[in-house]
Structure 1
């Protein structure tokens, strides 16, 4: 029964992962910013991590590694909620966990898409999820830089005492840079922040140019066959 349920969920792994990411990105439109950033957003990230476990469930070693990351994230979230001690160091650890998670899960998504022979809705959801994961990688890079070296980005109009604004602004900046839109209201001023901006932009371009082209090519061949 357990394996049957897991197999059914596994068929929808890309959809579950994708929609949990969408909730992270746009959930703040439906809830007050303080509640979303302090309570709901961490829960949604945990759910996305859980969906990532399902995504790589066929790789047992990697699955247990993700389970370990989830356990640590739950512990850090519990400490943050109770406010029993200074959580800045734990915040860095938590961000490190999610950064590692999204790097690995993006690689796994790319590997699964790369190896597929049939282009279907799962592949399309996987393609979109991988791109969203790149933006989240960029977000964790940027927020880590800003927390470690305040003032690395101009135009934030926040302080570390306003994390709900800081995270929203840097999430926005990461995706605007990934999409190479660059409106310019947030500007990287430190060398480290500028290098991060270049890296995020390159990741977005490489992903779109290389992986999307491969999927389109496979789809055309599939239609011909």
Structure 2
């Protein structure tokens, strides 16, 4: 469920010709589904640390949902953005714990691996969206700021192209912070792929020897 909601949240605009309808209704619904899927990844665990994580993620879930409908000029919008970033980071941390825990090679492992990769893109996109608000100077060139969903779509495209090392060059970082954030995203993407391939190969070999 988490993989599906992440894919649709990042790339769902592909299925809608009316971007304004997509941004006004579909994105909100999909964001709520993403919250639910992320929160569900913390459930059904018995150890104390997981219970703390479950309480934290549930609290952030309630904060984010309650702040989705506040005035856009309110300071609560900044709180929502930061809490959403923390929410995604905790979800990624939980996925990472699952990946490195003793577990056989199966569909759950593959799904968790893809979810982790998509979460890195989601976190990067959200970081850039926050950067747009706090930076006085332009952050990235060729980004459409006429409508928030168009800005989101362009940023998803940029982060995907960056993390996959395609690098078309049609969108480039301008500010210092954007350059550093882009560098970190590229490093995280490469590091994640190397580590996850090592984990999957190791668990595949272990499963076949049992």
Residue 26 (structure 2) pairs with residue 40 (structure 1): yes
**Equivalent in 155, 163, 168 of residue 142 of structure 2:** 155
Q: Size of the alignment, in residue pairs?
A: 203
Match of 1:169 among 146, 154, 163: 154
Q: Deviations over 1:172-203 (max 9, x none)?
A: 11111111111111100111000000010011
1:62 aligns with 2:42: no
CA offset digits 1:34-81 (Å, max 9, x no partner): 1222332132122111111111112222112112111111112222xx
Cα 1:88–1:135 change in 2 (3 A) is: farther
Which residue does 2:66 correspond to in 1?
75
Residue deviations 1:68-110, cap 9 Å, x none?
Answer: 111111112222xxxxx34363333222122111111111111
Residue number in structure 2 paired with 1:12: none
**Matched residues in 2 for 1:100 and 1:118: separation?**
29
Whether 1:111 and 2:97 are equivalent positions in the alignment is yes
Is the CA contact 1:46–1:73 (under 8 Å) kept in the aligned structure 2?
Answer: no
CA distance in 2, matches of 1:88, 1:133: 27
Structure 1 segments, 4+ long, off by >3 Å, are 85-91
The corresponding residue for 1:141 is 127
Q: TM-score, normalised by structure 1?
A: 0.84
Matches within 5 A, 1:87-106: 87=73, 89-106=75-92
Partner of 1:154, secondary structure, is: coil
From 101, 108, 121, the counterpart of 2:107: 121
Partner secondary structure for residue 183 of structure 1: coil
TM-score, structure 2 as length reference: 0.90
Confirm or deny that 1:28 pairs with 2:19: no
Q: Return 5+ residue gaps in structure 1 as ranges.
A: 1-15, 80-84
Give the unaligned 5+ runs of structure 2.
none
1:215 aligns to 2:200 (yes or no) = yes
